[in-house]
Structure 1
């Protein structure tokens, strides 16, 4: 095949199962199953769209084998035969596009049980503290209960086979229940399920054997395992190798390997801060110990995937959030359309963030159609409109893209000399590369769609172009909030946006405002070798950061020696630094060569209000101009605005 990515497009086998390429969609919870234990139409279409997009195999998110031990979100009822018919529909809808489908089965989360779901006392391998509330001590499973779980696995495997799944993956990952048996830090048992590596692996081995006895020799069994927990006392790469060897002998046909546990949750749901291919390192050692295929996930791009497969250390590469962001990206690589691959920006906001924060179904910051494919098809209009978009930030770009796909005539007016708005200006750090990629993707898409982009053009409310427009989308963004602080207009003071755009002089830097923007800026400057202090009035920094992202951010701020001063109010800015006042009323001066103000943004409402006043019926204000929010919400408002034009 004439493609740079030809190696990734080669067919390969797992056991007796033929796969059309080396792209596998990672198992991820969706929160789409219904209360009766069947998958919803939203969930089925979500998986089907990824099969249509060219993945060789779809691994559905962890399905719990029964309600009693689950302690997690809604999944398909693999313990209820009444759910088989609808699950068969799921499998056949995936098969219709030439992809295989794999059921990932889990006995439950154990000590990682979500606190907002269920009232049961958590179970575990031993009497371990609950992850979310260490004051709650988990109950150790009895041997009889272990045997019951193994029987339940056999029943779930039979369900999977009847429904039409091509493979089964056993979830021994992330510090969930099986992993709690595998790991000495959680397994303190003195019976046949604790102690030596063989005993700690016994629970997993008996599960593998029960599944094999149920499904026969032709149905592949995969095993997902984190080889390096990455926290003190957790299992190391070296510790995990004997477990792999034991499990291969038990009949595992492929290993799905990565790193992390809930104690290092920013590897379970890798953040932008940990970088691309952040868990590929585990493959090299694993390759030495097993002969079956290896699968790896963790912030992969097509390029890191290609590099890993070419190294010989791994056979298949899994894509999770990238598959959410662009379900067609394998097909695009097959067609040599790398520039059309919409990048996942690794923000965690609308995927795991929605699930953890709102207990609602999966979505995506850059792909608003996720899990809403049935309701949000972008279809051609029979009556094209002339649409004016004012502002080329993320909301304006998305509105222009969707409107153009629908067949409308779109012109974007941007007063600066480039597209991307504030989002592009602040995306200067290495950990914001995916944001730069997203803006470049919009540039390519709008050009291909024939959208007219007029740069260095400022629109006023009385411009005649607005008279002739059928619809007006106002996406003028936001402005910095500047409090009334003595010295804030000094020569040594620069706003956070200007700091990204123009650079920062001096070696000692004080960042006033410890929200996500201020902390990201501080980290970027510290990574360049500057000595940075963040001053925050509240009791902690980065309170607006997605909690999993915050884990990485705080760790990296510490590693780069950034000083965080909380409960500290900026009372004045002087030529030699910042005067702060602590809660007890004491004051001190933080020496700084340059002071960066990062007090947040406010909507730029002047033009939106003026245009609304004149053209109310045909005007929609979107993005930060309507409400200051994160990038995903800005893109969502642009998508909705364009979809509403019929």
Structure 2
């Protein structure tokens, strides 16, 4: 059978390194390395699974060249030869599956250093304000310190070669320390490392030369650089082209190119709002200036990857969070099993969200096994059970999938005529297409696994089917919160879920509740051309949104002329709109044809309480029926419930 994606699996070269295909796993921090500077078993198995899954090249997340500059969390100690033996194990476990492995080396984050990690006063190219706290002014590196960093790169490169890495990537990306030398907005130096483009590139060039002298001609050097910062005063595509030419002359074998800076962080960690292949546009211009291969990342799908490679503007495609969501997707594409590829939601919640928010190792909203592959292996049982699942929302679907993979007999009872629950109902916007794809993926997987789904069937606590079940998972989800507000039952008022299900009448829309659900709905309606006002009692909208996602959301709400009324309490709903009360006690009416209520959800516990009262020992409540949370947590509870059945 002809393979649509065959072009992605052509053997390729970077320098003298042979690669089995064009698919590259993006470098992403994992927070898995140990305190002694070696990679943990969790981290090793994480990388090994992606090598086994079919990637041509694995680039491990940024490794800092010394402890002093390590302002981004735990990494392998590339400055300590005692870490070489354990790192060799990592390389050989990746090689065992036919993939190559690349070490990404970084001199640090500079002004982007995370609070409470590394030096209290960060270093930078010049006296720049810290990104996280502009009141903190960074200390400029001295020339002597720059020379020491270059020596440390040489040592780290030697470490990488001795440990068995196949290539080295230099992290000059997105406003980090090297980029702070490249860019006039951050580089105000008057010595040989500032001024002209050649001087601003000198730091990077000397790093490339030091690495080359350490590893020789056979080991490729890749350079990661954001070609377009996408903020006023930042470096533009045009500004970046001379830098590429200088670095190619210095000996770089390939460029890893994309866009963004911390000022546009939603491109460093692209959100669902910015769309697929959101940074592919930088390749066309770069291809005019360099002869070495280009690598590109940024919310790629197999289809956008194929399109970009076929255009001739790029040679390799990087997949980051998609490799987290499904480490085997390259193999699935090779085997013409596109329908089995579990989609990344691009939600940022359990990958970078965990790292930024909790300083703990990454996971995934849709793949609970990430970084826990050793402990969360799904194995067939010798003692299959009969499992009844009530509700086909995300927690119920995941529980069914995992239980079926373990060999249990699974039946889902769903009171509607479709799977996906509220999650599918609300996934109507263009920026929620990955959610729709996830529900479709579950549909395919459950059919292949032989899971029975009884639609239009509402289970009661006294149904005899529960008597015969060995295990019962209650996944009945949540119901809307409906506060006691005059007029809330009026004909012009609909709940946010019904708004997605049935559409919205009129051109002027008022949304009561400025959480993530209300703001997402506002953006979707505004993109349809409606005039939308969001009313929020608190001082800020979308407080429950993941901070990086919120950057995109707020920008797009502004671009689509959505009015955000904060510190505004809904006191009544009338036929012509919503009466609000401001902090000073004054009242006004927000005129609207339709009023949408988005005051949140609460767990639907009626059935679960009744079933637990009768079958407590064999009943597990999962998803929103236990606690209202985001989709990743719902999937996690379903996974755990199924894994606990032995």
Residues 1:253 and 2:253 aligned together: yes
1:387 is aligned to: 387
Counterpart position of 1:298:
298
SS across alignment from 1:343: coil
Equivalent positions of 1:219-258 (< 5 A) are 219-258=219-258
CA distance in 2, matches of 1:215, 1:278: 34
8 Å contact kept, 2:69–2:119: no
Alpha-carbon distance in structure 2 between the residues aligned to 1:74 and 1:215: 25
**TM-score, length basis structure 2:** 1.00
The residue that corresponds to 2:644 in the other structure is: 644
**Gapped regions of structure 1 (runs ≥ 5):** none
Confirm or deny that 1:129 pairs with 2:135. Answer: no
In 1: Cα distance, 2:68 partner to 2:409 partner: 56
Q: CA deviation at 1:118?
A: 3.1
- Name the CA distance, whole Å, in 2 between partners of 1:157 and 1:402: 43
RMSD, aligned CA: 0.5
Q: Distance in 1 between matches of 2:574 and 2:505?
A: 16
Give 1:263-274 correspondences, 5 Å limit.
263-274=263-274
- The separation in 2 between residues aligned to 1:21 and 1:108, in whole angstroms, is 31
CA distance in 1, matches of 2:199, 2:142: 15
Q: What is the correspondence of 1:267-416 to structure 2 with a 5 Å cutoff?
A: 267-416=267-416
Aligned to 2:432: 432
Q: In the aligned structure 2, how far is the partner of 1:370 from the partner of 1:571? A: 46
- Contact 2:68/2:119 (<8 A) preserved: no
* 1:461-493 CA-partner distances (Å, limit 9, x unpaired): 011110100000000000000000000000000
Given that 2:325 and 2:366 are in contact with CA atoms closer than 8 Å, whether structure 1 keeps it comes out as: yes
Distance (whole Å) between structure 1 residues aligned to residue 323 and residue 581 of structure 2: 48
Is 2:69–2:118's contact at 8 Å kept on the other side of the alignment?
no
Return the alpha-carbon distance in structure 2 between the equivalents of residues 11 and 44 of structure 1: 25
| TM-superposition CA deviations, 1:390-437 (whole Å, max 9, x none) | 000000000000000000000001000100000000000000000000
Q: Establish whether residue 468 from structure 1 lines up as the match of residue 485 from structure 2.
A: no
- Structure 1, residues 583-629: CA drift from partner, whole Å, max 9, x if none? 10000000000000000000000000000000000000000000000
Partner of 1:533: 533
Q: Distance in 2 between matches of 1:118 and 1:266?
A: 24
Say which is worse superposed, 71-80 or 113-122, in terms of deviation. 113-122
In structure 1, distance between residues paired with 2:340 and 2:464? 35
TM-aligned CA deviation for residue 229 of structure 1: 0.1
Aligned residues, how many?
A: 646
Cα deviations by residue, 1:38-84 (Å, 9 ceiling, x for unpaired):
00000000000000000001000000000111211000000000100
Unaligned runs of 5+ in 2: none
Alignment of 1:197-236 (within 5 A): 197-236=197-236
Q: Deviations over 1:261-281 (max 9, x none)?
A: 000000000000000000000
Are the counterparts in 1 of residues 78 and 156 from structure 2 also a CA contact under 8 Å?
yes
- With normalisation by structure 1, the TM-score equals 1.00
Farther off after superposition, 112-121 or 521-530: 112-121
> SS in structure 1 opposite 2:419?
coil
Contact 2:512 2:599 in 1 (8 A): yes
Runs of 4+ residues deviating >2 angstroms: none
Q: CA deviation at 1:119?
A: 4.3
Equivalences for 1:558-637 in 2 at 5 Å?
Answer: 558-637=558-637
Give the superposition deviation at 1:334. 0.3
1:105 corresponds to 2:96: no
Question: 2:486 maps to which residue?
Answer: 486
Q: Deviations over 1:559-582 (max 9, x none)?
A: 000000000000000000000000
2:170 matches 1:166: no
The corresponding residue for 1:546 is: 546
CA distance in 1, matches of 2:6, 2:577: 56
Q: What CA distance in whole angstroms lies between the structure 2 residues aligned with 1:119 and 1:242?
A: 33
- Match of 1:50, SS state, is helix
Cα displacement (A) at 1:10: 0.4
Alignment partners' CA distance in 2, 1:36 and 1:579: 60
